[in-house]
Structure 1
């Protein structure tokens, strides 16, 4: 009962947060303007609205807020999966090197122009992320496939692709290209459109459904591979399935919004504090908290240094690093 009430409350809070976030920015937009634009586009009214305000709300700020919510929810869910599979409370989606691979793919397209006409920055980032994930799986399998080996393979992949990204920027990028690419690498929701909303929402909703279906598997993995196997769970197959889900969600979100850190690390711990470790409750709670967190971080990042927006990845790091320190200190006290 308490979990249901928190879920309903979280959905209402998220809806209100998105509406308020739309009003924040250099151009003055009121909640009444937001209401009128939404009712018009939903076909529920025909209220006269200035074309400029209609474009700001419907074409710019609403897609941005929805993508921010999808990124927060998706990265939070990926954090839940990684922390359960690896039995490491400090694991997050980027431990698989996916973010670094996406950065390399984006830089190769944006700076070298490889496949720029067909792929674009997002397409290059997505392919780079999947290549990095494939490398991690290969290295982990060659090293034995244990949890520790997966983490070490992720660290190696992260360092490799980070070095490749730095090399391409250093050797081939001019000042304008470097500025544009670096802004994306820091995490940015500038220029997102409804196609991005549909893609991110579909991937995150499908990933959430898969995680809820595998909630009992994630519960078992939290106690170790041997206990999971004793409960009749195919450890290797289920681990691979959940890692692939994590990779696809992370690759999609990073390809749209760039590298956004600490969401998948911190938010699962906040959800566990509120609702406990059972994944049937933890997954939706983390998704809602992540969405709320990202909507507000993006809104504040947009207005803090107006008219120049702060990259949203910087905002999440400024909040996430202190939270990360708190997590470390709590683990030390427990020991």
Structure 2
């Protein structure tokens, strides 16, 4: 697994987590004042203090913008960022590939098919949360299909998962493109594209709790398995020699990661680079042990996603940029910098 240089200093995990948590909390408050309509931070603080004490903000304009529009998407952004970073770290261990990201198994592409069906054909249009329900259904269907194909071909192995996921992602993307191509509504194409590139604009309070629960459960499960994850990262043979049930662990990681990503994609669309870059940065800072990597990646992912959403809202205001556009512009240089570090190696040992 990755680390800095042999014998190099790493940041103490506890201190780093506290620093990141404080920075995230402060950033969340500041970000509430930023957007197409800039607000005074003091007014934002007044709304938060009043709302958290059970009241309603004195200024109805501030109250609506801060509490009803911005707060849900900021919290959802932090939840999505934390979940994607965790899923990325887990996926990279599962397939033992530093280029793996949460969408490797075709979950995002499957969610795209479900979302496209809702937008283009009006499936589930009579239900609340139609877009999220359609995306979640597509994600779970894609998960089941990839899992079934892998098991039918001989079981879940890193190579089989990667190849099956890549092939099914291409197939699902083709289905989405086919549906959009034959759509009679030109606005549907723009809506599908915007959703596929990620957006938090539709976030509401009712969606937050289910997402938080899923991310929290996934974190507890992964942290409980941290020693097995460390062994699996060293190779299946090493893990087996240490008594790790490799086959059962791989199936469990596949299910946990797929459900986690499916739920997150259903509420935010496809957001690239978060689950790829943040885990690598976490490994450089605290080393390769999953008990350190997972929480640092989660908090770091939340902070990263928070400011990505701010950038998406303010760069070309009053319009909004899809989130994957921002994460790509920011994440690509960061990842190239990490790769260029002389002593950085995902597999350990340096160069």
Answer yes or no: same fold by TM over 0.5: yes
Aligned to 1:38: 48
Q: 1:173 to 1:68 in 2, by over 3 A?
A: farther
Greater RCO, 1 or 2 (C-alpha within 8 Å, sep 6+) = 2
Aligned to 2:66: 57
Match status 1:138 vs 2:148:
yes
Q: Equivalents in 2 of 1:269, 1:83: separation in Å? A: 10
Q: Equivalents in 2 of 1:27, 1:326: separation in Å? A: 34
Q: Equivalents in 2 of 1:48, 1:189: separation in Å? A: 24
Match status 1:112 vs 2:121:
yes
Within a 5 Å distance, the mapping from 1:266-281 to structure 2 comes to 266-281=277-292
| Superposition deviation, residue 199 in structure 1 | 2.0
Whether the 8 Å CA contact 1:36–1:47 is kept in 2: the answer is no
| Superposition deviation, residue 210 in structure 1 | 1.2
Whether the 8 Å CA contact 2:136–2:262 is kept in 1: the answer is yes
Q: Equivalents in 2 of 1:236, 1:129: separation in Å? A: 23
Report the count of equivalent residues.
334
| Superposition deviation, residue 327 in structure 1 | 4.7
Query: Which of the two has greater helix per residue?
Result: 1
Q: Equivalents in 1 of 2:119, 2:339: separation in Å? A: 37
Q: Equivalents in 2 of 1:191, 1:108: separation in Å? A: 18
Aligned to 2:6: none
SS at structure 1 position matched to 2:104:
helix
Unpaired runs of 5+ residues, structure 1, are none
Normalising by structure 2, report the TM-score.
0.91
Aligned to 1:147: 158
SS at structure 1 position matched to 2:111:
helix
| Superposition deviation, residue 329 in structure 1 | 4.7
Whether the 8 Å CA contact 2:56–2:63 is kept in 1: the answer is no
Whether the 8 Å CA contact 1:129–1:251 is kept in 2: the answer is yes
Q: 1:168 to 1:320 in 2, by over 3 A?
A: same
| Superposition deviation, residue 114 in structure 1 | 2.2
Aligned to 1:101: 110
Within a 5 Å distance, the mapping from 1:206-225 to structure 2 comes to 206-225=217-236
Q: Equivalents in 2 of 1:281, 1:146: separation in Å? A: 26
| Superposition deviation, residue 21 in structure 1 | 0.7
1:306 to 304, 317, 320: 317
Normalising by structure 1, report the TM-score.
0.95
Q: Equivalents in 2 of 1:171, 1:30: separation in Å? A: 47
| Superposition deviation, residue 143 in structure 1 | 2.9
The one-character-per-residue Cα deviations of 1:211-230 (angstroms, maximum 9, x if unpaired) are 11111111111011111111
Whether the 8 Å CA contact 1:102–1:254 is kept in 2: the answer is yes
Within a 5 Å distance, the mapping from 1:4-83 to structure 2 comes to 4-43=14-53, 49-83=58-92
Match status 1:293 vs 2:304:
yes
Q: 1:223 to 1:42 in 2, by over 3 A?
A: same
1:170 to 173, 177, 181: 181
The CA RMSD over aligned residues, in Å, is 1.9
SS at structure 1 position matched to 2:228:
helix
Aligned to 1:322: 333
The one-character-per-residue Cα deviations of 1:141-176 (angstroms, maximum 9, x if unpaired) are 233332111100000110000000000000124111
Q: Equivalents in 2 of 1:47, 1:138: separation in Å? A: 51
Q: Equivalents in 1 of 2:176, 2:43: separation in Å? A: 43
Unpaired runs of 5+ residues, structure 2, are 1-10
The one-character-per-residue Cα deviations of 1:16-70 (angstroms, maximum 9, x if unpaired) are 11111111012231221121111111117x6862101101110111111111111
